[in-house]
Structure 1
Amino acid sequence: MAKSLSCIHGTKPAAHPSELTAGFYNTVSRDGYEAVAEMFARNSCKMILPGMDLSDKHQPQESLSSPESMLAQIRIVCRKHRVEISGQNSVRMGADFFSPEHFPSFTHFVRNLNQLEMFSDDLPEEEEVVESVLLNSESNSRMQAA
């Protein structure tokens, strides 16, 4: 089981008003995310965190925001309570995402993914493979001609 945790990274002010408003009692002397991690651990639940792609350098100075500090804090308590963390990316995949200047980064990312072991029942049957190859070569020809 997994659950997404809404992340509020206005952590630089001492009062942490954004977290307090959301119900996280997270102060200098109390780690508000510890109680959340304990609850996830008690229920054998994985934690899904949005915003793992955010960095402090891309936050406006006046926001007093530190997504890196918040994620580090959550990682520490999750490690302590043995709660597994997964990331969730909310970046839209628009035309800019698939532009030619970004394609090398995308291919680098894909090539660095770990291929899970495939079992025999996961593999396509021989007829499906031949048909798939034929369909792919036909669609590639049409795409190149367009």
Structure 2
Amino acid sequence: MLEQLLSPLVVVTSPVHDALKDLAAGLITTGHAHHYLGFAAGQEKLFRSSGGLKPALYTLRVLLTGAHLMRTGRLETDLAVLGDDLGYVPDLIAAKRAAEHGRLPAGVSALLDREVPRLRAELEVARDASGLPAEASPAAVAALHDLLVHTRLETVA
């Protein structure tokens, strides 16, 4: 939900959406790393079984997003930005653009055999060294509760 809430690609917004975005920083914790590690594991399983390029890129993207979030407290989901220092990323993005549901190009599986464990470890190190709190801010949780109750009461009335 955090990625949907904070995405720069917004079709429709509202004052409630703006309020939720304002609260997000107080709700980000080191626990978010668990989500990114789990999502990456599922995507890795998918690309290993299917040979698909898209789940391989998702695997890279979520591991890099999670590590960036743990280091900075800011959400960045653009693989082109996150992987700008990884020379193979632009070629993989170009291959996906050429064939949305294409197969892994030759040699990429061996590359991912090295990179995915390295990036997973990088995310775990970033989580363990993160300055993010282990728990959400009680003030942010209370404000979120109040916003949700207020919003529900407005939409029911």
Report which of the two structures shows the higher radius of gyration computed on alpha carbons: 1
**Which TM-score bucket, shorter chain as reference?**
under 0.3
Structure of higher RCO (CA pairs closer than 8 Å, 6+ residues apart): 2
